[in-house]
Structures are given as C-alpha cells and as structure tokens.
Structure 1
C-alpha cells in the first residue's frame, strides 16, 4: 500500500477539518469496532468534502452506489434540504441494517432511501427524470466503468459524479489485480470522456470529481 499523505500531515488535516456530528462519529466507531472491513468506510475528511459538495451544488437529489454502514450517505443527507432525496444502493442486507439503524436516529434519515439489491439493476430501473445533482460511486471496483455509464445520463448538466478509491493504494501505476485494472480503466475512461470536466484528488485512496458538461 502506498502512503499518499504523510501520517503527521494527515492528522493535521483531520484536526483542521470541521468535525462531524456526534452521531457520525459514533457510526465510525461502531463500524471500526464491529466490521472486519471497516477500512471501506468513508473517512471524516472525505465525508466533510461530500457534505460541502452537496451544499455548493445546492443539491436536492443524490444517488449513491455502495452504502456500507452509511457514513457517506448520512454525511450528504445532512446538507440536503428538508425535501431532498438520497437513494443509496446496497446489496449486503447486514450492513444495510446497520446503516438504517443510524439513519433512523438522525433528523436527516428520512431523506435517505436504501435500495437493496444489485446496483446496476436499481439504476436501470430509475426513471429518466428528475435527474440527480450528484452521484457518488463507492462499490465493487470491477463495475466502476459500468456504473459510470449508467449514472452519467441520469445526472443533470453541471452535476457531479464523485468516485472513491481511484488511486487504489497506488496500484493504478502498474495494475496487477482485477480491481486495480478496473480502476485504471475507469480512470482512463473519465480522462478521455468529452462529456465531463474532471479532476483527481489525492485524498485518502483517491477521489475523482467529474462535472457533466
């Protein structure tokens, strides 16, 4: 694994980023204590970034692919207006139950709808309108290109697609695993795509922002 940011600098970044609400911190701690793959959880700084993007876009509709225990969904829902909607796709009923238990304790949980099942099937079944203001992709890496192609037509012009893990611990420099090759292919797809303007950030394991033109 490649350390993208010096640990001391990473700690400094955390200390100088707006802290999350108590419920989100509890969710983070619960996930770390109970789930063997807790590293999949979106971190505090990335959660703050997602919340900021929702606010800047004045987003009303959000699509998330990959709920896990719900940290990113709840982070984004906090910045949505009272009548905002966030649809989050998850195939694992166990982590979805954890997410729902925390959503139910939040004043913003009513904005979130968990779509349990295959994410591609869920997306394909969505109506063409209304469009989404932001889509966050953070699920099985081999299907990133497929998610992107399904999501882009459903995002409004000027809206964002945000993709997590786009540096894949540095493996994108010389991909050797199926996930690494899929992420590298996704990165190349976005980079060549004239339908979007894009930027890749060295935040945690890499975050890509693609704005629909």
Structure 2
C-alpha cells in the first residue's frame, strides 16, 4: 500500500500504539521514576493501564509549565502517574492536591510521589472526590483542575471545579470520547461513562461561564479524547 492510499485506510489500536511508541522514542526519554511508579501499581493491584499514557503525561507536564501553573487540583489519583507528571512542573512553592476514593490507590500514590521526591508539593486526600471538593474553600483558587475520575459524576465534578478554579484558569476532563460511544446515539445500553460525558456536554452547551472544546486522541490507550475548558 502506498502512503497516498494509506491516508484513508482504516486504522486500529495496533497502529495507534505503534505510532505512540515511535514518537515517544524521540520525544520522551526513559524515566526511571515513572517506570517504578507503574511497577509499584502493578505489584499492588492498581490498574496502571487506565492511567494517562506517557505522551498524555508529558502533555500535562508541558501544559503546566507553559501556563505558569502553581496550584493544581486533580480529581482521581489512581497510582499517581499523572500527579507526578504535573507535580514535577510546578515550582517549589506550588502545590498539587489530588483526590482519591480508594484507600489502596491513595497509599500507592503516596509511595510513588515520595519516590519522585514530590511528597512536600503533592498532597493526596482520601475520600469521595465530590465530598472532598465541596469541603475545599481555598483562599487562592486553583490555576488548573484535572478531572479523571468516575465519568457518571462529571457534571458534579465540573460544577464544583468552576467554583474552585480562578478566572482564566483551565479545567481538563479526561476520557470524553470512549471509542466513539459517546457520540453514537444509536448505541443500545450506553455505559455510565458515555452517559456521564453526554450529560456534561449538554450542561456545557448553554454554560456561559466557560469556553470549551473537545480534542479527540488516538494512541496506546485507544480512541478517546479530553475536554479543555477555560473559566471566564
């Protein structure tokens, strides 16, 4: 097949993962700390395969650096992979607060953050994320909020995120596409994931407090995407 013909040829996760690996080989050097975090997750039963990919982690890191972010709120810690990526990018006087409902996940994340030397800048709060958000009343609002937790609660998380983020601040919501299931309105019995994303999109349609767009992605984690929103 010529390259011209391949432009319109169907692709699969095999192709996407291969592409990720190729680009990463040039742009993302070997990282012993992140590798150790993944190994620690696997060893303790934390599903590392649902964490952000290496490329997406690097994107979050670069985004934090380029925006000059100092205060981050993360909804959904898992094993702390994305927390490490973002925590490395904030200055020494910055702070990342990450919310996790699962006690084992929180324990592993704290271990991984300590191994990365980030325990002083990154704090893990154990408990239901929405309840933790409601209890937060920071004197200084967050610069960036990253939502990557149970999708059925997207509307609740996003509503609180708007309260907690500064004007001009960024809210990112992960997993907005779910292999195209979100936009497939003929799909029987859509998942709580798809329904949670649809509910968030419906909310945003008439929300004049933010400007937002969805960026679809393909890679080693499949066909998905994220919402990028700016608080007016």
Q: TM-score, normalised by structure 2?
A: 0.83
Q: Secondary structure at the match of 1:79?
A: coil
Residue pair 1:103, 1:110 contacting (<8 A) in 2 also: no
Residue pair 1:66, 1:89 contacting (<8 A) in 2 also: yes
Q: Deviations over 1:130-160 (max 9, x none)?
A: 1000000001110011100011121111110
1:66–1:107 CA distance, 2 compared to 1 (3 A): same
RMSD value over aligned CA atoms?
2.1
Residue aligning to 2:32: 22
Q: Which whole-Å CA distance do the structure 1 matches of 2:217 and 2:200 have between them?
A: 17
Q: TM-score, normalised by structure 1?
A: 0.90
Residue aligning to 2:9: none
The partner residue of 1:121 within 127, 131, 148 is 131
Residue aligning to 2:114: 104
Residue pair 2:48, 2:79 contacting (<8 A) in 1 also: no
Q: Which whole-Å CA distance do the structure 2 matches of 1:73 and 1:106 have between them?
A: 10
The Cα shift of 1:3 comes to 4.3
1:29–1:191 CA distance, 2 compared to 1 (3 A): farther
Q: Deviations over 1:63-88 (max 9, x none)?
A: 00000000011110000110111110
Q: Secondary structure at the match of 1:110?
A: coil
The Cα shift of 1:10 comes to 2.8
1:106–1:147 CA distance, 2 compared to 1 (3 A): same
Residue pair 2:74, 2:146 contacting (<8 A) in 1 also: yes
> Does 2:82 correspond to 1:72?
yes
Equivalent residues, number: 212
Residue aligning to 2:18: 8
The Cα shift of 1:187 comes to 2.7
The Cα shift of 1:25 comes to 2.0
Q: Which runs of 5+ in 1 are unaligned?
A: none
The Cα shift of 1:15 comes to 2.5
Q: Secondary structure at the match of 1:14?
A: helix
Moved more, 19-28 or 165-174: 19-28
The Cα shift of 1:5 comes to 6.6
The Cα shift of 1:9 comes to 2.4
> Does 2:207 correspond to 1:193?
yes
Residue aligning to 2:228: 209
Q: Which runs of 5+ in 2 are unaligned?
A: 1-11, 219-223
